[in-house]
Protein backbone atom coordinates (compact mmCIF):
# COMPACT_ATOMS: atom_id res chain seq x y z
CA UNK A 1 0.00 0.00 0.00
CA UNK A 2 1.76 3.13 -1.06
CA UNK A 3 0.86 6.49 0.37
CA UNK A 4 1.99 9.14 -2.09
CA UNK A 5 2.54 12.80 -1.28
CA UNK A 6 3.19 15.25 -4.10
CA UNK A 7 4.18 18.86 -3.50
CA UNK A 8 4.52 21.45 -6.26
CA UNK A 9 4.41 25.20 -6.63
CA UNK A 10 1.01 26.53 -7.62
CA UNK A 11 0.34 25.73 -11.25
CA UNK A 12 -2.04 27.58 -13.56
CA UNK A 13 -3.42 24.21 -14.72
CA UNK A 14 -5.87 23.10 -11.98
CA UNK A 15 -5.45 19.44 -13.05
CA UNK A 16 -1.65 19.41 -13.15
CA UNK A 17 -1.09 17.85 -9.71
CA UNK A 18 -3.78 15.24 -10.36
CA UNK A 19 -2.12 14.28 -13.65
CA UNK A 20 1.23 13.92 -11.85
CA UNK A 21 -0.48 11.55 -9.42
CA UNK A 22 -1.93 9.49 -12.27
CA UNK A 23 1.53 8.96 -13.75
CA UNK A 24 2.97 8.02 -10.38
CA UNK A 25 0.19 5.47 -9.80
CA UNK A 26 0.79 3.95 -13.25
CA UNK A 27 4.50 3.61 -12.45
CA UNK A 28 3.75 2.03 -9.06
CA UNK A 29 1.51 -0.52 -10.76
CA UNK A 30 4.00 -1.38 -13.48
CA UNK A 31 7.28 -1.26 -11.52
CA UNK A 32 6.55 -2.54 -8.02
CA UNK A 33 3.35 -4.53 -8.53
CA UNK A 34 0.94 -2.27 -6.66
CA UNK A 35 -2.55 -3.78 -7.03
CA UNK A 36 -5.47 -2.08 -8.72
CA UNK A 37 -7.42 0.33 -6.47
CA UNK A 38 -4.42 0.70 -4.12
CA UNK A 39 -4.20 4.41 -4.85
CA UNK A 40 -3.86 6.87 -1.95
CA UNK A 41 -2.41 10.31 -2.70
CA UNK A 42 -2.12 13.73 -1.12
CA UNK A 43 -1.53 16.38 -3.78
CA UNK A 44 -0.55 19.81 -2.51
CA UNK A 45 0.26 23.09 -4.24
CA UNK A 46 2.21 25.84 -2.46
CA UNK A 47 2.93 29.51 -3.05
CA UNK A 48 6.59 30.35 -3.63
CA UNK A 49 7.12 31.50 -0.04
CA UNK A 50 6.15 28.07 1.28
CA UNK A 51 8.11 26.00 -1.22
CA UNK A 52 11.83 25.81 -0.48
CA UNK A 53 14.46 23.88 -2.40
CA UNK A 54 18.14 24.21 -3.22
CA UNK A 55 18.48 24.94 -6.94
CA UNK A 56 21.81 23.12 -7.32
CA UNK A 57 22.26 20.50 -4.57
CA UNK A 58 24.43 17.58 -5.79
CA UNK A 59 25.04 19.49 -9.04
CA UNK A 60 21.45 19.05 -10.22
CA UNK A 61 20.03 22.32 -11.58
CA UNK A 62 16.45 22.55 -10.30
CA UNK A 63 13.82 25.09 -11.32
CA UNK A 64 10.57 26.36 -9.82
CA UNK A 65 8.97 23.42 -11.60
CA UNK A 66 10.46 20.96 -9.11
CA UNK A 67 8.10 18.18 -8.07
CA UNK A 68 8.61 16.65 -4.63
CA UNK A 69 7.31 13.09 -4.43
CA UNK A 70 7.33 11.11 -1.21
CA UNK A 71 6.17 7.51 -1.38
CA UNK A 72 5.66 5.46 1.77
CA UNK A 73 5.54 1.73 1.03
CA UNK A 74 5.92 -1.56 2.84
CA UNK A 75 9.51 -2.73 2.93
CA UNK A 76 10.79 -5.55 0.77
CA UNK A 77 11.29 -4.29 -2.79
CA UNK A 78 14.66 -4.83 -4.42
CA UNK A 79 17.02 -1.97 -5.17
CA UNK A 80 16.52 -2.71 -8.86
CA UNK A 81 12.73 -2.31 -8.60
CA UNK A 82 13.15 0.97 -6.71
CA UNK A 83 15.58 2.28 -9.32
CA UNK A 84 13.16 1.29 -12.08
CA UNK A 85 10.36 3.09 -10.24
CA UNK A 86 12.39 6.31 -9.94
CA UNK A 87 13.37 6.21 -13.61
CA UNK A 88 9.86 5.39 -14.80
CA UNK A 89 8.26 8.20 -12.79
CA UNK A 90 10.82 10.76 -13.94
CA UNK A 91 10.60 9.75 -17.60
CA UNK A 92 6.81 9.64 -17.57
CA UNK A 93 6.50 13.09 -16.01
CA UNK A 94 9.07 14.40 -18.48
CA UNK A 95 7.56 12.95 -21.66
CA UNK A 96 3.89 13.34 -20.75
CA UNK A 97 3.82 16.54 -18.67
CA UNK A 98 7.04 18.32 -19.75
CA UNK A 99 8.51 18.19 -16.23
CA UNK A 100 12.28 18.51 -16.45
CA UNK A 101 14.09 15.32 -15.36
CA UNK A 102 16.17 17.47 -13.02
CA UNK A 103 12.97 18.62 -11.31
CA UNK A 104 11.72 15.18 -10.27
CA UNK A 105 12.71 14.70 -6.60
CA UNK A 106 11.62 11.37 -5.12
CA UNK A 107 11.89 10.14 -1.54
CA UNK A 108 10.94 6.53 -0.82
CA UNK A 109 10.08 5.66 2.79
CA UNK A 110 9.87 1.97 3.66
CA UNK A 111 7.94 0.77 6.70
CA UNK A 112 7.13 -2.61 8.20
CA UNK A 113 3.75 -4.05 7.22
CA UNK A 114 2.44 -3.88 10.78
CA UNK A 115 2.62 -0.07 10.59
CA UNK A 116 -0.43 0.23 8.33
CA UNK A 117 -4.08 0.58 9.28
CA UNK A 118 -6.40 1.04 6.31
CA UNK A 119 -9.41 1.80 8.49
CA UNK A 120 -11.48 0.54 11.40
CA UNK A 121 -8.50 0.84 13.76
CA UNK A 122 -7.16 -2.51 12.56
CA UNK A 123 -3.66 -3.35 11.32
CA UNK A 124 -4.88 -5.38 8.35
CA UNK A 125 -1.43 -6.72 7.41
CA UNK A 126 -0.80 -8.21 10.87
CA UNK A 127 -1.37 -11.97 10.72
Residues carrying an active site annotation: 2
Helix axes 16-32, 79-97, angle to 10 degrees: 150
Helix (H) or strand (E) holding 70, with range, is: strand 67-74
DSSP H helices, the chain, are: 16-32, 79-97
- Cβ atoms of 90 and 104 within 8 Å: the answer is yes
Amino acid sequence: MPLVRVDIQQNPDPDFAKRIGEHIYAALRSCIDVPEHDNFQILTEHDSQHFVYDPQYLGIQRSDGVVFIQITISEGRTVEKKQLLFKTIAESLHTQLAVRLEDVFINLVEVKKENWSFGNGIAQYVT
